Structure 1
Amino acid sequence: MMPAPDHTSTSSSSTTEASTPLPPGMVLGPDGKPCRTCTDWKSWSKIGKSKAKKDSKDSTSTPGPGAGAGAGAAAAAIGATAAIATGSSSFDYEKECPADKEILGRATWTFLHTMAAYYPDKPSPMEQSTMKSLLTSFSQFYPCGHCAEHLREEMKVDPPKVESRRDLSWWMCGMHNKVNEMLGKDKFDCNKVDERWRDGPSDGRCD
């Protein structure tokens, strides 16, 4: 959940050359390869643009049988990438592509806040134990590695409060606000967690 600094690829298996700095905002995963779920789409798409340009250059500098087809394919790839970058109406990144850091984060917070909003007011010992286990497992397997690590560290300092629905909802809100603060975003008013995630506004606009 913590924004990561830019890195330079050091793995020969990465999609970028070992000596080539990654685009600003690009983050490497534990395997040394660019991590889609740790990176925003604008940074991620630069890999595709660089590869398309390299393929186009290679195909035009070494002509031979099929060179025309290779150049055409590379040009098509560049054109497709450009259409995506300029917001072509025929392309919906969020619906058609694997989640990037932003999309994954929004979906995850929606799930976590809503789960907390519907947690029992008076959970049994078994329910409390299950919720703790769920959050512990979640912090291990969240696809963005450095985000998961940050959550684990925060949970050591401030363990999940699972004694009631209100306790869990406020704990979740506090965790979210720590991330918001790091990202320079406004904090959410935790007094409004039920209105936002369970009941809706009092004026009935969501009914």
Structure 2
Amino acid sequence: MAATEGPTVAQSSPSSTPLPPGMVLGPDGKPCRTCTDWKSWSKLAKTKKAQTQQGGSGSESAGASSSSSAGSAAAAAVVTAGAGTDDTAVNATAPDDCPPDREVLGRATWTFLHTMAAYYPEKPNEREQTMMKSLLSSFSQFYPCGHCAEHLRDEMKKEPPKVASRMELAWWMCGMHNKVNTMLGKDEFDCNKLDERWRDGPSDGRCD
């Protein structure tokens, strides 16, 4: 949902498995799937697989343990470096039945949030406004990408959710999304097209 800010993007790990550029560690110090794009996650998996295979072959002979260890490190370096320089070696997107990475989770989350705002009451009563504020506050606590959630909480402190009307909430949500887009180097969304995108569909009827 939010840009990769907060935890440092890892270049290496205290363990024997080097982390590829782009991998993000979670609060527990372990690689965070929902904070990392699929390509970086896949590179880490390939590195671990190469190390496991090399380690297995080295166990066949005690005398070969030293060379096996060196081979394992070399194989891991080749896999990591090769994947980093040739993206064709790693799928750009995960299979549909894999747990979501940062990109998949982010797209699904923004789809939900924008659509929810689009169907928020035009003139919400006090209870509805309180519930929406509570929902967004809870959401910012439990979003699976920890540093993304922290970023959202920080932004909500600077600019609290506007819940007095459907359009106010929709525009607030659009502003939050565009802040993230700017941080990620993406184009901003035209907030004048909120209803067209998230509720009514384009005027040419291609979505009807």
Runs of 5+ in structure 1 lacking a partner?
10-15, 65-77, 79-83
Matched, 1:60 2:57: yes
The verdict on how the C-alpha distance between 1:102 and 1:173 changes in structure 2, with shifts beyond 3 A counting, is same
Greater RCO (Cα-Cα under 8 Å, separation 6 or more): 2
Percentage of identical aligned residues: 69
Aligned mates of 2:15, 2:181 — CA distance in 1: 33
Contact 2:133 2:163 in 1 (8 A): yes
Q: CA deviation at 1:179?
A: 0.2
- How many residue pairs end up in the alignment? 181
SS at match of 2:112: helix
The verdict on how the C-alpha distance between 1:120 and 1:164 changes in structure 2, with shifts beyond 3 A counting, is same
The verdict on how the C-alpha distance between 1:48 and 1:20 changes in structure 2, with shifts beyond 3 A counting, is closer
Q: Given the two structures, how large is their TM-score scaled by the length of structure 1? A: 0.81
Give the equivalent residue in structure 2 for 1:6.
9
Runs of 5+ in structure 2 lacking a partner?
62-78, 80-87
Matched, 1:121 2:122: yes
User: Where does 1:27-176 land on structure 2 (aligned, <5 Å)?
Assistant: 27-63=24-60, 85=89, 87=91, 93-176=94-177
Aligned mates of 1:187, 1:170 — CA distance in 2: 13
Contact 1:122 1:164 in 2 (8 A): yes
Point out the more displaced range, 55-64 or 181-190.
Answer: 55-64
Aligned mates of 1:161, 1:132 — CA distance in 2: 9
**Cα deviation 1:44-65 (Å, max 9, x = unaligned):** 111111111111111111217x
Contact 1:29 1:35 in 2 (8 A): yes
The verdict on how the C-alpha distance between 1:8 and 1:86 changes in structure 2, with shifts beyond 3 A counting, is closer
Aligned mates of 1:31, 1:189 — CA distance in 2: 38
Give the equivalent residue in structure 1 for 2:69.
none
Aligned mates of 1:107, 1:152 — CA distance in 2: 19
Give the equivalent residue in structure 2 for 1:197.
198
SS at match of 2:31: coil
The verdict on how the C-alpha distance between 1:136 and 1:186 changes in structure 2, with shifts beyond 3 A counting, is same
After TM superposition, which residue ranges in structure 1, 4 or more long, deviate above 6 angstroms? none
SS at match of 1:96: coil
- CA RMSD between the two structures: 2.2
